[in-house]
Chains A and B, each alone.
Chain A
Amino acid sequence: MKTLYKIPEAFTDRPTTYCPGCPHGIAHRLVSELLDEMDLTKKTVIVWPVGCSVFGYYFIGTDAVEAAHGRACAMATGIKRSHPESFVMTYQGDGDLASIGIAETVHAAARGERISVIYVNNGNYGMTGGQMAPTTLLGQVTTTSPYGREALANGFPLKVPEMLAAIDGPAYIARAALDSPKHIIQAKKFIKRAFTAQRKELGFSLVELISSCPTNWKMTPEEALKRIKNQVLPVFPIGELKVDEEVE
């Protein structure tokens, strides 16, 4: 038998703390595969966020630090600047990165910090029970937008890659989705380019991964992935938004 796919060594044996069908595990696996394939696992420091993936260091087997809510890009900056030989990435959710941590993210991007950001967007605050996030769709019901998000009261969904692509510091900015095998293969390609951007010291890199939250969306895992395709991707279209030609 020829092995086509195999769980990477960097993905630890410890069962994840995520709900059944939560795509965080898919994102973890993609990151783990690339760290192993690119021979980065032993030189990597991952800065973990506050949110559902707060225990991420149990699941991806690298050196790790746990940041305060939203501060991952600042902490990653401190690590990378004082130890440039390390491969430094953050793994953050949409509440962490796009709300409380937006300043740290934008300025790390503007400085062109040689760090890679994996930004998982599931449109709500999962861990705290499904509150409205900056990325929540208009009309979407959450525990703090019980009548649906309304633009006049709560503003519009925040598109982070589009924002960051407009500034000069980033070398690679993309959005992928975790809703289908095809999109997952594409997501891996994008993350590989983000990692390459750091390895070649080209600048800041970020990949947004559109994810689901079956528990708080009150859907089966399968229904939640269908919702990504039908409702989320029209608002958050996938693709590469900024590509330094050297990331290939």
Chain B
Amino acid sequence: METKVIINEERCKSCSLCVSVCPKNVLRISNRLNPKGYHPAELFNNDECISCGFCYLICPDAAIVEVRRPIKVKS
């Protein structure tokens, strides 16, 4: 499945606020380094993400660029 949370890692300052407000604990600070020297946040469990958008709402740096929900297809 496509990612529900699009993160611009270059803008992330590793403040962890997204991680702290995530009700499903599906975000974490990665081990990678971005060009500014911060460890960017990452979505590590896309399946469990409920697309609530809390991460987007609290992110001060527009690093959480987009939050999406899968469209339910009638079978």
Residues of A within 8 A of B (CB): 1-7, 11, 15-16, 18-26, 29, 180-181, 184-185, 214, 220-222, 225
Contact = CB atoms under 8 A, between A and B. Distances in A.
A181 B71 contact: no
Contact of B61 (A2, A25, A220): A25
Contact of A4 (B20, B21, B53, B59): B53
Contact of A5 (B16, B56, B70): B56
B68 A3 contact: yes
Contacts of B26: none
Given A16-B61, A25-B59, A25-B61, A2 B16 contact: no
Contacts of A220: 16
Contact of A2 (B52, B60, B71): B71
Nearest to A185: B57
A20 B68 contact: no
A7 B58 contact: no
B24 interface: no
Nearest to B12: A20
B43 interface: no
A98 to B, nearest CB: 22
Contacts of A184: 57-58
A214 B13 CA distance: 13
Given A1-B71, A221-B16, A7 B57 contact: no
Interface of B: 2, 4, 10-11, 13-17, 20-21, 36, 38, 51-54, 56-62, 64-71
Given A5-B53, A20-B13, A26 B66 contact: no
B21 A180 contact: yes
A22 B59 CA distance: 9
Nearest to B72: A2
Given A1-B69, A4-B51, A7-B65, A24 B16 contact: no
A229 to B, nearest CB: 12
Contacts of A4: 51, 53, 67-69
A186 B64 CA distance: 20
A184 B59 CA distance: 11
Contacts of A29: 59-60, 62
A23 B15 CA distance: 11
B15 A21 contact: yes
A15 B15 contact: no
Contacts of A5: 53, 56-57, 64, 66-67
Contacts of B13: 19-21
13 contacts: A1-B68, A4-B68, A5-B66, A6-B66, A7-B66, A16-B61, A20-B15, A24-B60, A29-B59, A181-B57, A184-B57, A221-B17, A225-B20
Contacts of A6: 65-67
Given A6-B65, A26-B57, A26-B60, 5 more contacts: A3-B68, A4-B68, A6-B67, A20-B14, A22-B60
A133 to B, nearest CB: 20
